[in-house]
């Protein structure tokens, strides 16, 4: 089990242990170049490779990327199909590299909505990388924060039906092991590229005390230099978790 930011005060380092990213702006990147939106998604895959490498070098242990939201099915059928195809191709091409690089891959989200072929690729990729732990790469696909909280609640109630009659027993400790990110600490840093300043139903539970960084840069343009800038900003934050500034400073001095 990993520490909860609301039940205890997490330890904080100079580099985020867990980085969560909303990779936004692919469509606009392409439209500005008179290209189809799908060209932006293809370029976005290159940014994933770049950022994954940079995170490994910086010592990030968990990288979680929002690839497809539970609301993205609302997009035109062509774009959804292309995104699914890209997902399949990327898994086929990249998984062996992840194995040799010591990267563990997980997919979080309601994968039951995907084509059976994609579901098997996901299962295979997770199995092949299951022994790795140098870096934990998680792709959120058909993921929604509300879905996550609901599915966790359903799983808990299925396991502990007596809780319905004892609602006062229902606690954070009981629920969080059923959330799909239960294997990871809560994100230290959240980045959203593409200029929007919203969460768009990403990790709504887990972002409770995460530092939020927004940049205008479109995802296909986001590179190691942009990431370093976000990390520099992160280092400048005082993470208080509800305490005063004086208490936070005193706690840091005590731990040195
Ligand atoms: C993010 O880029 C990728 C997905 C949502 C799959 P967008 O496709 O949302 O790009 P914009 O926001 O339209 O520019
Ligand atoms: C969020 O981006 C989802 C992903 C990046 C996968 P969207 O582009 O779908 O978000 P909204 O619609 O602008 O809020
Ligand atoms: Mg978008």
132 is catalytic: no
Number of the ligand 1 atom closest to the C-alpha atom of 30: 14
Backbone φ and ψ of 108, nearest 5°:
-115, 145
Percentage of the chain exceeding pLDDT 70: 99
Q: For the chain, what is the domain count?
A: 1
221 is catalytic: no
Domain residue limits at 158: 18-255
Question: Ligand 2, atom 14: nearest CA belongs to which residue?
Answer: 200
Rounded to an integer, the average pLDDT of 30-55 is: 98
Residue 7 within a domain: no
Backbone φ and ψ of 141, nearest 5°:
-135, 130
Please enumerate in sequence order all residues whose Cβ is within 8 A of that of 111, keeping only pairs 6 or more positions apart, or say none: 118, 119, 122, 141, 142
pLDDT(134) > 60: yes
pLDDT(94) > 70: yes
Using a 6 Å cutoff on CB, does residue 23 contact ligand 2?
yes
Among 8, 141, 174, 135, smallest CA distance to 70 is for: 141
- Would you place residue 201 in the very low, low, confident or very high pLDDT band (cuts 50, 70, 90)? very high
Give the ligand at the shortest distance from the Cα of 192.
2
Residue 175 within a domain: yes
CB–CB of 170/193 below 8 Å?
no
Using a 6 Å cutoff on CB, does residue 151 contact ligand 1?
no
Q: Which of 14, 24, 26, 78 is catalytic?
A: 24
Give the ligand at the shortest distance from the Cα of 29.
1
- Would you place residue 254 in the very low, low, confident or very high pLDDT band (cuts 50, 70, 90)? confident
Among 91, 145, 137, 144, smallest CA distance to 115 is for: 91
CA of residue 162 to ligand 2 center, whole Å: 38
Query: Looking at residue 255, what is its pLDDT?
Result: 77
Residue 9 within a domain: no
Instruction: Indicate which CATH number applies to the domain containing 26.
Output: 3.40.1180.10
């Amino acid at each position: 089990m990993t520490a909860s930011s609301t039940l205890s005060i997490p330890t904080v380092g100079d580099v985020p242990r867990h980085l969560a990213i909303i990779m936004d702006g692919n469509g606009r990147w392409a439209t500005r170049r008179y290209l189809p939106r799908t060209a932006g998604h293809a370029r976005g895959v290159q940014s994933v490779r770049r950022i994954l490498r940079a995170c490994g070098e910086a010592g990030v242990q968990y990288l979680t990327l929002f690839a497809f939201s539970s609301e993205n099915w609302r997009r035109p059928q062509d774009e959804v199909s292309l995104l699914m195809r890209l997902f399949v191709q990327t898994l086929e091409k990249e998984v062996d590299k992840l194995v040799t690089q010591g990267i563990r891959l997980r997919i979080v989200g309601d994968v039951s909505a995907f084509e059976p072929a994609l579901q098997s690729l996901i299962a295979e990729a997770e199995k092949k990388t299951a022994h790795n732990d140098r870096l934990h790469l998680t792709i959120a696909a058909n993921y929604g924060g509300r879905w996550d909280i609901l599915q966790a609640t359903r799983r808990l109630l299925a396991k502990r039906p007596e809780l319905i009659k004892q609602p006062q027993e229902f606690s954070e400790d009981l629920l969080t092991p059923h959330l799909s990110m239960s294997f990871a600490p809560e994100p230290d840093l959240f980045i959203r590229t593409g200029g929007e300043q919203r969460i768009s139903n990403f990790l709504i539970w887990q972002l409770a005390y995460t530092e939020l960084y927004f940049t205008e840069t479109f995802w296909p343009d986001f590179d190691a230099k942009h990431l370093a800038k976000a990390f520099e900003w992160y280092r400048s934050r005082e993470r208080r978790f509800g305490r005063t500034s004086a208490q936070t400073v005193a706690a840091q001095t005590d731990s040195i």
